[in-house]
């Protein structure tokens, strides 16, 4: 039975990691990670835009292990969005990784987006499509149910005299070891996201900003038979940006087996904002041409339906349908996505 842990549904099929495996010292290994996707948001509300993302990305890399604890991966990342001429993104990738027992330390391109296993209010699932690359350094720990991920993603730099601010995103995501009581597992959950925008000696009229979003929760999990489980996750989530602050409750439950996942999430946010969180959960509208629209509280019920196909060890397909109901606006809307992931 796998020991991966998630807050809403299991996203392991979309993770892309640099684990030190399968390479002999002094040998070269070719690797390929590919994702083909279509995601459709049928939104007509005042908070988030409706749109469709369709395209693919390809990341071939060469792995070289220079020591039993040190590995280097270098490659190129190419992303294409259908409907646009040319490529959406083309970037070199480079990662140096050091392994020490159950810890891994990454420098360069880090394991980002869904690999952080953040809850949707802190980081929207769509970053795996729109912001697949992160750069900086990262410390990760995994042992059975226990998990830790601490990182710094340097998103934008600046030079003295320029107008653009530097943008630095740091975060932590961790789950404690599980404590079992009569075959029911309990875990403490803690996460945080910090975005800083500023810089010294720059010619910008924009204010220096630091946005902080902490979250703390409790997981209750019961396994049934082979690879089947029911999980309940409850979080208290905060928002701090001097002098502003807000809070929220995020309640989740989901059932999963190797092919299906069914989840229910309830969100109640009060004066809540998170720079990379799901648009639907914010108090400030992110809808095009709707700047300034604000809702003091947001109350949502989200249903998550997932069907996974494991075609082979290297290829998997995931179909996701997520209808939701907005209690404030009394509207029912939905999104759906199909993802083909290939790891060689």
**CATH number, domain at 186?**
2.40.160.10
What is residue 95's predicted lDDT score, i.e. its pLDDT? 95
What is residue 6's predicted lDDT score, i.e. its pLDDT? 59
Q: Name the token pair of 292.
A: 């300034």
Q: How many Cβ atoms are within 10 Å of 11's Cβ, its own excluded? A: 21
Query: Is 30 part of a structural domain of the chain?
Result: yes
Q: How many Cβ atoms are within 10 Å of 30's Cβ, its own excluded? A: 10
Closest CA to 212 of 151, 273, 281, 263: 273
What is residue 1's predicted lDDT score, i.e. its pLDDT? 40
Q: Which domain holds residue 250?
A: 12-343
Mean per-residue pLDDT pooled into runs of 10, the chain (344 residues): 56 75 79 94 95 96 90 95 92 95 95 94 94 95 93 90 87 95 94 91 83 97 86 96 94 90 95 96 94 94 94 91 96 96 89
Closest CA to 275 of 327, 336, 215, 209: 209
Give me the number of domains the chain comprises: 1
What is residue 3's predicted lDDT score, i.e. its pLDDT? 45
What is residue 10's predicted lDDT score, i.e. its pLDDT? 73
Query: Is 7 part of a structural domain of the chain?
Result: no
Query: Is 6 part of a structural domain of the chain?
Result: no
Query: Is 1 part of a structural domain of the chain?
Result: no
What is residue 203's predicted lDDT score, i.e. its pLDDT? 76
Query: Is 62 part of a structural domain of the chain?
Result: yes
Measured distance CA(252)–CA(234) in Å, rounded: 6
Q: Which residue has the tokens 């996701």?
A: 320
What is residue 121's predicted lDDT score, i.e. its pLDDT? 96
Query: Is 214 part of a structural domain of the chain?
Result: yes
pTM, two decimals, is 0.91
What is residue 246's predicted lDDT score, i.e. its pLDDT? 95
What is residue 8's predicted lDDT score, i.e. its pLDDT? 67
Query: Is 3 part of a structural domain of the chain?
Result: no
């Amino acid at each position: 039975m796998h020991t991966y842990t998630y807050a809403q549904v299991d996203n392991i099929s979309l993770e892309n990691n640099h684990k030190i495996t399968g390479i002999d010292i002094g040998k070269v290994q070719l690797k390929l990670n590919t994702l083909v996707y279509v995601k459709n948001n049928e939104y007509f509300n005042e908070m988030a835009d409706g749109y469709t993302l369709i395209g693919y990305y390809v990341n071939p890399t060469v792995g070289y292990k220079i020591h039993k604890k040190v590995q280097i991966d270098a490659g190129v990342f190419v992303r294409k969005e259908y409907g646009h001429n040319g490529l959406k993104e083309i970037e070199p990738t480079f990662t140096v990784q050091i392994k020490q027992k159950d810890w891994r330390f990454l420098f360069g391109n880090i394991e980002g987006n869904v690999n952080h296993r953040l809850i949707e209010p802190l980081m929207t699932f769509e970053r795996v499509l729109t912001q697949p690359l992160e750069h900086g350094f990262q410390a990760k720990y995994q042992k059975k149910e226990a998990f830790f991920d601490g990182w710094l993603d340097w998103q934008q730099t600046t030079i003295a005299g320029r107008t653009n601010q530097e943008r630095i995103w740091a975060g932590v995501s961790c789950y404690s070891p599980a404590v079992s009581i009569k075959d029911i597992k309990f875990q403490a959950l803690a996460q945080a996201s910090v975005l800083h925008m500023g810089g010294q000696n720059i010619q910008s009229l924009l204010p220096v900003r630091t946005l902080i979003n902490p979250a703390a929760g409790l997981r209750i999990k019961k396994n049934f038979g082979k690879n089947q489980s029911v999980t309940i996750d409850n979080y208290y989530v905060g928002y701090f940006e001097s002098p502003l602050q807000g809070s929220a409750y995020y309640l989740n439950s989901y059932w999963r087996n190797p092919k299906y996942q069914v989840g229910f999430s309830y969100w109640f946010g009060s004066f809540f904002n998170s720079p990379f969180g799901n648009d639907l959960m914010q108090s400030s509208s992110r809808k095009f041409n709707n700047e300034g629209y604000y809702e003091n509280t947001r109350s949502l019920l989200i249903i998550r339906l997932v069907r996974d196909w494991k075609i082979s060890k290297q290829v998997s397909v995931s179909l996701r349908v997520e209808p939701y109901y907005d209690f404030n606006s009394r509207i029912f809307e939905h999104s759906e996505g199909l993802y083909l992931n290939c790891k060689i």
